[in-house]
Structure 1
Amino acid sequence: MPDWSYQTLFRPLLFRLPGRIARSFTLGAIGTLSRLPLGSFVIRTLGHMEPAPLLRSKIGGVELATPVGLAGSADPAGTAHRAMAQFGFGFIELGPVMAEPLAAGEVSPGAGAAPIRLDAARERIVYPAYAEHAGGGAAAAAAAAAARLAKPGHALPQLVRLTPLPGSTPEQALPQLLPMMRQLRQAGAAGFFMDALQQPLDPHGTAWLLEQLRIAARQAEPNLQDALLFLYIPHDAGDSRLAEILQAIDLTAWTGAVIGESRSPDTGELVLDPQDKHSCLAKLRLLRELPTKPAVDFTLIAAAGIYEPQDALDTIEAGASYVMLHAGLVFAGPGLPKRVNEAILHEKVKQLPAPEPVSFWRHWGWMCLLGIGMILGGLLAWMIAATTVLLPYDEAFLGLKRDALHHINHRLLHFMSHDRITLAGTMISIGVLYYQLSRYGLQFSIHWARITLLVSCTFGFLSFFLYLGYGYFDPLHAMVAIILLPMFLLSMRKNPDRPFRGAVNLRNDAVWRRAMYGQCCMVALGFALVIGSITISGFGITKVFVPQDLSYMDTTAAQLRAANPHLVPLIAHDRAGFGGALFSDALALLIMSLWGLQQGQRWLWWTYLLGGSPAFIAAFTVHMHIGYTDFVHLSPAVFALALYIGGLVLLYPYLMPRLRRRSQ
């Protein structure tokens, strides 16, 4: 469920459902997909969320692939953790976990019956209980959390948020928390978020409890000495009392602090609101400005009010090293971790020196030449298909001259011309895509551009074997393949991946939301062309003709075979070749649309426009010219054109931002 499908298809439907049903359906569907054969491959392919090495870090001895975590209350039962571990998260929180399971009424009055309230306009979520099970019941007990820790279904570090039972005094909380720490550490917890500072704050009692936990974890319990130990601070905790508590405890013994979610002292509800970011920022600054400052390696995690990448950058500027997501996933979509990672990576890359220029001849230049070769080859093929149609070796294979085909069927040459011109237009489109991806992607060692070219070219060269399906060997195509193949191999050799240095999207604004519809159009077009190309290739090496083809020529396949036994194999060669070229073109378009869209990358919009136009122009002009205007035959092309135009229009503001005029 990438953002382009979530924002356009799923979110409008899910937001019409009751909150609990929408959450259960979403998490259940994602979790089920991750457990299916090839499910993880589908998630990775649609999202391409593999984090860059520059994002890796360590907290204590725990390695994190990214600085983005998943809040425990986003998926209380861990239904979709296996899937979400592939969304770009670096760690996952479990909890809040209590020592014992509670009845719904003990968590919050009426929590079992009360709905999850969602205000889409204000991007606000109200849970009836601070610590509730996915089904609306009790908070997960330590035993259930231990079972999940032992078999997580993923490799990400897991940190557990521990909270005392409601109404517990500090003296009562200590014997609840310590046994849970031992049990969950043994089950595999990398560390703990100690949620002992909920409102109303008791400075003396809370400080005593935290000191006792610190002494037990760092001195009395050998199994806990290397566990990560974080204070969990509600974002709305009173500053004066919080400062009093923090100055009364030994912060150097703690790994860090999480500025996170807050329980309403009156209703027990958990309220998530974009405005939480402001109090989160204030708490981050308070911790950094304490008279008794924490240690230099005291790690801060922001877990409140992160709805868009800019929010994450704001908290990092205020002192956080890591962020955790919850409500932002609901309103922005599952691509938010990737977008946050890209924003953080962009800030890191800006501090690095510019890399050495990549050699033209060693890397990207060969692919540029391959693209130019495809464009020139397509233009030549178009010219031949629009004039003589047949080449000398075609006539030699048939044993007939061009004029003799008119006596077999007066529309036969027109039909063959239509196949060859559509192939020529597709070749030009491929050439444009390859040139652009090389010039603006491969030259800068962008990973997704290299993968796009690798996949598309590989299938493009393999499609040569489709030409042999009916026993017709095309010497010209073979010669072109022999010339272009070394260019492809040379462009792929020792080509490193480097972090993207362009600007990235930071806001969930109207331009971004509109672009999600545009991306959806282009992805749908890519999938449609993949299916269409497979269908065309399949017909090319089996039945050759669809009913509309034979109706246009007013003949049958048997009559054509009777007229000349080599005629159908020649047409099959054209069809299969066109299907193979279209498949290669579709793969490039699809991968580019899935992985490559970044705000302000003007070259991408021009690549869509210049890369798609030749194929559509060739397809429609030749059909109009020869009078092959059957609605059923042209309807897939019309549908594809509608997606193409819609994608271009919707993506224009995102990819082609207005340039500010220079001040006079």
Structure 2
Amino acid sequence: MPDWSYQTLFRPLLFRLPPRIARNATLQAMGGLSRIPGGSLVIRTLGHMEVSPLLEQKRIGITFKYPVGLSGGLDPHGTAHAALAQFGFGFIEIGPVTTEPIAEKPVVRDAAREMLISELIESNDGLDAIVKRLQGKQGHSLPIFARLRHMPGRTPTEALTENKRMLQALMPFAAGFYLDCTDSDWSAEAELDHMASLLDTAREIAPAKPLLIYLPLDMQEERLTSLLRTLSGAGKGYDGIVIGDAMRGEWGYEIGQETLPYSIRLASCARSICGEAATIIAAGGVHEPEDALALVGAGANYVQLHSGLVFSGPGLPKRVNEALLHELVKGEEATSEPGFWQGWGWMCLLGLGMIIGGVIAWIIAATTVVLPYDIAFLCATPEMLEQLNDRLLPFMSHDRITLAGTMIAIGILYYQLARYGLRRRLHWARTALMTSGLFGFSSFFLYLGYGYFDPLHATVAALLLPMFVLSMRDRRDEPYRKRPNMRNDRVWRMAQRGQFMMVSLGFALVLGGIIISIVGITDVFVPEDLAFLMTTPSVLNGANENLIPLIAHDRAGFGGALLSVALGLLATALWGIQEGERWLWWTFLAAGLPPFIAAFSVHIVIGYMDWWHLTPPLIALLLFVLGLVWLYPYLMRSPSAIPDHTN
């Protein structure tokens, strides 16, 4: 469920449901997918959540792949942790954990304020159920932090006993502990004494585990300052501070974007008291990448996400990672650009070769239609074919012109991805080219399905394959150095609709390529084809036994080419769309026009105007146009026009 599908399709539907039902349905769907063999791969493929190893860091004895964590309140039952772990998170909070289960209370979703409101934030399954869950297969390897909370109404002594039991039970599974030990019913002195005792107890039970003090978001700065200074003065060691994501409001506990200023203020205060050595995690109000940057600027080392995933979408962790990576590398000098012959230049030449080949194929298909070796294979001249069926040559022209348009599209896409992707060593661009190229060259064997060997196609493949291999030599990756999107503004939301259209187009064309390839090597014709030809396969085969193999060769070739360009388009639409990448919009336009022009023009010219037959390309054209329109403001936005709210 990437942002392009969440913002466009799922969020409008889910927001019509009660919050708890919507949450449970979403988590169960994602959790179910992650448990299917290959399900986690599907999630990673759709989102391409991997960002860069440069974000990996080690603190408090733990290696964090990414500086973004998942708040425990988002998935309190652990239903979809295996799926959520693929979203670009570096660690997961479990909790709050209490010794006994605490039932959930109704949650109100205020979409206008981007706020979740609940009467109770301590709801959980209880210690025994959580331990039982952790004893099973987690489906991920992310560090788990257990947030320990005493039951409501407990005295400090009773709370200490409960925490001791939870520490002992969770120690085998937790990488560290959040000690959530403040209580508004206790005096300040009792609260401080309890915290000091809990730190001593936790050090005895889990001496190698990092301990972080969990503080409510609505804690006053004076109280925070007094608490931390008193603990430090008493020699009570702790490894860091966690600033929570909920604060008391008029109608209950509020979790949402409006809490960000409180989180920033407490993070800054904690950093000034604890110094640089302490680890600070802030969990309140991150709904946009710029929110995370603000918290990091205030002193946080890590951020946790909760309500931001509900209102912004599951792509938020990746977007935050990209923003933090940009801040990390923007002052560094980029490595030297690879030379033309180092890899990307060969792909440019391959693309140009496909464009030239497509233009030549179009000219031939629009004039003579068949080539000398086709005539030799058929043992028949064009005049003889026309006498056999006056619609036969136009039908063959229809197949070959659409193939030519697809070849031109492949060439344009490959050239652009090489020039603007491979040259910048963008991982997604190389993956898109690799996937498309492997299927494209493999589809050559479809030409042999009916026993017809095309020497021209074989020669072209033999010339282009070495270029493809040489272009894939440079395996180094560079981080994306342009400023990524920081805000969930109207242009970004519109772009999610545009991306949804382009991804849908890619999936539709992949399906179309597979179907056409299968038809090409099996039945060869669909009913509409035979209606246009006004004949049957048996009549054609009786007239010339080599005729159907030749047509099958054309159909399978077109199906393979369509599958190749569809995979390249799909990968580009899934992974490559970034704010201000103008070249990408022009690539979509330039690569999309030749196939549509070829398909519709040849059908009009030869009079093959069956509406059922033309419905798929018409739907594809609609997706293409809507995608271009909705992506235009986002991709064409100049860097100077992108608002910078991070200062």
Q: TM-score, normalised by structure 2?
A: 0.96
Give, as a single letter, the amino acid of the residue that structure 2 aligns with 1:300. Answer: I
Residue 224 of structure 1: aligned partner: 206
Give, as a single letter, the amino acid of the residue that structure 2 aligns with 1:72. Answer: G
1:271 matched to 2:260? The reply is no
Q: 2:247 touches 2:259 (CA, 8 Å); kept in 1?
A: no
1:195 matched to 2:180? The reply is yes
Deviation at 1:48, TM superposition (A): 1.2
Give, as a single letter, the amino acid of the residue that structure 1 aligns with 2:57. Answer: S
User: C-alpha distance in 2, partners of 1:158/1:63?
Assistant: 12
User: C-alpha distance in 2, partners of 1:651/1:408?
Assistant: 49
SS in 1 for 2:356: helix
The 10-residue stretch of structure 1 (248-257 or 67-76) with the greater mean CA deviation from structure 2: 248-257
User: C-alpha distance in 2, partners of 1:566/1:29?
Assistant: 51
1:165 matched to 2:151? The reply is yes
CA deviations on 1:254-285 (whole Å, 9 max, x unpaired) are 11101113363997x43112110000000011
Residue 120 of structure 1: aligned partner: 111
Q: 1:64 touches 1:90 (CA, 8 Å); kept in 2?
A: yes
Deviation at 1:230, TM superposition (A): 0.6
SS in 1 for 2:525: coil
CA deviations on 1:593-630 (whole Å, 9 max, x unpaired) are 11111111111111100011111111111111111111
CA deviations on 1:229-260 (whole Å, 9 max, x unpaired) are 11111121011122111110028721110111
Q: 2:580 touches 2:639 (CA, 8 Å); kept in 1?
A: no
Q: CA RMSD in A?
A: 1.7
CA deviations on 1:110-149 (whole Å, 9 max, x unpaired) are x65xx311111111111231111xxxxxx33222222233
The correspondence of residues 110-259 of structure 1 with structure 2, limited to 5 A, is: 112=105, 115-132=106-123, 139-151=124-136, 152-186=138-172, 188-199=173-184, 202-218=187-203, 221=204, 223-250=205-232, 253-259=237-243
The correspondence of residues 518-557 of structure 1 with structure 2, limited to 5 A, is: 518-557=498-537
1:483 matched to 2:468? The reply is no
Deviation at 1:547, TM superposition (A): 1.2
CA deviations on 1:417-472 (whole Å, 9 max, x unpaired) are 11100000000000000000000000111011001100100110000000001111
Residue 135 of structure 1: aligned partner: none
The 10-residue stretch of structure 1 (332-341 or 250-259) with the greater mean CA deviation from structure 2: 250-259
SS in 1 for 2:341: coil
Give, as a single letter, the amino acid of the residue that structure 1 aligns with 2:248. Answer: S
Deviation at 1:181, TM superposition (A): 1.3
User: C-alpha distance in 2, partners of 1:493/1:234?
Assistant: 52
User: C-alpha distance in 1, partners of 2:184/2:287?
Assistant: 24
CA deviations on 1:281-308 (whole Å, 9 max, x unpaired) are 0001111223xxx243201111000111
Q: 1:252 touches 1:295 (CA, 8 Å); kept in 2?
A: no
How has the CA–CA distance of structure 1 residues 659 and 241 changed in structure 2, closer, same or farther, with 3 Å as cutoff? closer
Residue 136 of structure 1: aligned partner: none
The correspondence of residues 80-95 of structure 1 with structure 2, limited to 5 A, is: 80-95=80-95
SS in 1 for 2:145: strand
CA deviations on 1:202-253 (whole Å, 9 max, x unpaired) are 43222212221222333xx1x5111111111112101112211111002872
Residue 31 of structure 1: aligned partner: 31
Give, as a single letter, the amino acid of the residue that structure 2 aligns with 1:261. Answer: D
User: C-alpha distance in 1, partners of 2:40/2:270?
Assistant: 40
How has the CA–CA distance of structure 1 residues 215 and 584 changed in structure 2, closer, same or farther, with 3 Å as cutoff? same
The correspondence of residues 43-442 of structure 1 with structure 2, limited to 5 A, is: 43-102=43-102, 104=103, 112=105, 115-132=106-123, 139-151=124-136, 152-186=138-172, 188-199=173-184, 202-218=187-203, 221=204, 223-250=205-232, 253-262=237-246, 264=248, 269-290=252-273, 294-442=274-422
What stretches of structure 2 of length at least 5 have no aligned partner?
642-647
How has the CA–CA distance of structure 1 residues 236 and 212 changed in structure 2, closer, same or farther, with 3 Å as cutoff? same
Alignment size in residue pairs: 639
Give, as a single letter, the amino acid of the residue that structure 2 aligns with 1:196. Answer: C
Q: 2:113 touches 2:258 (CA, 8 Å); kept in 1?
A: no
User: C-alpha distance in 1, partners of 2:579/2:640?
Assistant: 16
User: C-alpha distance in 1, partners of 2:224/2:501?
Assistant: 51
The correspondence of residues 487-502 of structure 1 with structure 2, limited to 5 A, is: 487-502=467-482
User: C-alpha distance in 1, partners of 2:186/2:409?
Assistant: 66
The 10-residue stretch of structure 1 (189-198 or 514-523) with the greater mean CA deviation from structure 2: 189-198
Q: 1:95 touches 1:140 (CA, 8 Å); kept in 2?
A: no
Q: 1:261 touches 1:270 (CA, 8 Å); kept in 2?
A: no
Residue 657 of structure 1: aligned partner: 637
Give, as a single letter, the amino acid of the residue that structure 2 aligns with 1:328. Answer: G
User: C-alpha distance in 2, partners of 1:148/1:337?
Assistant: 25
The 10-residue stretch of structure 1 (482-491 or 240-249) with the greater mean CA deviation from structure 2: 240-249
Give, as a single letter, the amino acid of the residue that structure 2 aligns with 1:273. Answer: G
Give, as a single letter, the amino acid of the residue that structure 2 aligns with 1:249. Answer: L
Residue 107 of structure 1: aligned partner: none
Q: 1:160 touches 1:193 (CA, 8 Å); kept in 2?
A: yes
SS in 2 for 1:576: helix
User: C-alpha distance in 1, partners of 2:465/2:581?
Assistant: 29
Q: 1:363 touches 1:490 (CA, 8 Å); kept in 2?
A: yes
Give, as a single letter, the amino acid of the residue that structure 2 aligns with 1:283. Answer: L
User: C-alpha distance in 2, partners of 1:148/1:295?
Assistant: 37
User: C-alpha distance in 2, partners of 1:575/1:650?
Assistant: 33
Question: Could you tell me the percent identity over the aligned residues?
Answer: 55
Q: 2:2 touches 2:315 (CA, 8 Å); kept in 1?
A: yes
The correspondence of residues 588-599 of structure 1 with structure 2, limited to 5 A, is: 588-599=568-579
Residue 644 of structure 2: aligned partner: none
SS in 2 for 1:140: coil
User: C-alpha distance in 1, partners of 2:555/2:356?
Assistant: 21
How has the CA–CA distance of structure 1 residues 367 and 252 changed in structure 2, closer, same or farther, with 3 Å as cutoff? farther
User: C-alpha distance in 2, partners of 1:277/1:153?
Assistant: 32
Give, as a single letter, the amino acid of the residue that structure 2 aligns with 1:284. Answer: A
Q: 1:463 touches 1:580 (CA, 8 Å); kept in 2?
A: yes
User: C-alpha distance in 1, partners of 2:130/2:176?
Assistant: 13
Deviation at 1:174, TM superposition (A): 1.6
CA deviations on 1:176-196 (whole Å, 9 max, x unpaired) are 21221122113x111111112
How has the CA–CA distance of structure 1 residues 266 and 597 changed in structure 2, closer, same or farther, with 3 Å as cutoff? closer
SS in 2 for 1:241: helix
How has the CA–CA distance of structure 1 residues 130 and 274 changed in structure 2, closer, same or farther, with 3 Å as cutoff? same
